[in-house]
Amino acid sequence: MQPELTLFSTIAGTGSALPERIVTNHELAERIDTSHEWIVERTGIHQRHLVSEGQNTSDLACAAALQAIAASGIDAVEIDLVVVATTTPDLVFPSVACLVQQKLGIVNRCPAFDLQAVCSGFIYALSTADNFIRAGQARCALVIGADVMSRITDWNDRSNCILWGDGAGAVVLRASDTPGVLATHLHADGRYRDLLHAGSAPDGGGCAVRMQGNAVFRFAVRTLDEIVDETLEKNGLQKDDITWLVPHQANIRIIEATAKKLGMSMDKVVVTVDRHANTSAASVPLALDTAVRDGRIKKGDTLLLEAFGGGFTWGSALIKWMV
């Protein structure tokens, strides 16, 4: 009998989706006490895409998934795992993953589930799908990060409403005999709920993000610094082995700090925060898809994906680009 090949996973195609409606900083400044200049200086954000009435996380997730499926050249029927990272599901249940499975007409009964790690969600989902494939439990996974953060934003809270956008990004992850996903590293520390959380307000109001921005900023810079070291060290890489940094798009100053840590010039960093703002679980795959589609990311490149989010959660994925 032929011995089983060691299984790895590789990204075969990417896709993304943004709502049509664009809201500029100037529009926000008409409603709350802020300014375009303040938002750009503190965050790098110029605009965000926000859903319209009736548009849901699963709609964006499906649109991104269809692009990823087309880009990878697979038939949707080959998908044997659907993982959606989201903090803003359409419903409490069924999961967005099950809604996507139904909307895409995947009737092969493959497992489908959501995973919640807020802004680190896509890295967690990619790691999970990679492990399914390495374990031989899946061969073709649809991995999506999708969020409609505008639904859990208090639009009167100027301290954080300026940060968020809506969107989705997706990848098709296939089994391969050479590794595309070289490694993933995940972490969480549940002691910091007071610094960043969303839940029902004590006054019985709706669910809204509450954040101590300054403290979150410092923690994010420190932990992303650590994850860069950990990822390089554990994989025997030097800083200049990384071709592209594809960071979570929370704040341009956090992104610049990570690039500095890597000794990387900003023209090797994929930046979409100016146009997309912070789309939570969608941010990394949206940035990835942007740089794949505009031709910056090329076969043989080594990518470092990283993210930090509520929980706190953080993580990285080291990718060899194979297509």
Q: Which is nearer to ligand COA, 67 or 150 (CB)?
A: 150
As a whole number of Å, the end-to-end CA separation of the chain is 31
Q: Which residues, other chains included, contact 10 with Cβ-Cβ below 8 Å and sequence gap of 6+?
A: 173, 174, 176, 178, 179, 180, 181, 320, 322, 323
Catalytic residue among 25, 160, 251, 278: 278
Please give the residue whose beta carbon sits closest to ligand COA in the complex: 213
Q: Which is nearer to ligand COA, 41 or 240 (CB)?
A: 41
Q: What sign has the CA pseudo-torsion 182, 188, 194, 198? A: positive
How far from 139 is each of 7, 8, 131, 266, CA to CA, in Å?
9, 10, 11, 36
49 is catalytic: no
Q: Which is nearer to ligand COA, 113 or 217 (CB)?
A: 217
Catalytic residue among 119, 160, 251, 276: 119
What is the rounded CA–CA span in Å between residue 89 and residue 313?
Answer: 19
Coil, strand or helix at 55: coil
| Cβ pair 250, 308 in contact under 8 A | yes
Q: Which residues, other chains included, contact 267 with Cβ-Cβ below 8 Å and sequence gap of 6+?
A: none
Structure tokens at 90: 């359409």
Q: Which is nearer to ligand COA, 274 or 301 (CB)?
A: 274
Closest contact distance (angstroms) between CB of 257 and ligand COA is: 11
Catalytic residue among 56, 110, 140, 248: 248
Closest contact distance (angstroms) between CB of 63 and ligand COA is: 23
- Give residues in contact with ligand COA (CB under 6 A): 34, 38, 42-43, 119, 158-160, 162, 211, 213-214, 216-217, 220, 250-251, 278, 308-309
Closest contact distance (angstroms) between CB of 165 and ligand COA is: 12
Q: Which is nearer to ligand COA, 8 or 122 (CB)?
A: 122
What is the rounded CA–CA span in Å between residue 233 and residue 237?
Answer: 6
Closest contact distance (angstroms) between CB of 95 and ligand COA is: 22
CA atoms within 13 A on the CB side of 99: 21
197 is catalytic: no
């509450």: which residue's tokens?
210
Closest contact distance (angstroms) between CB of 254 and ligand COA is: 6
Catalytic residue set: 119, 248, 278
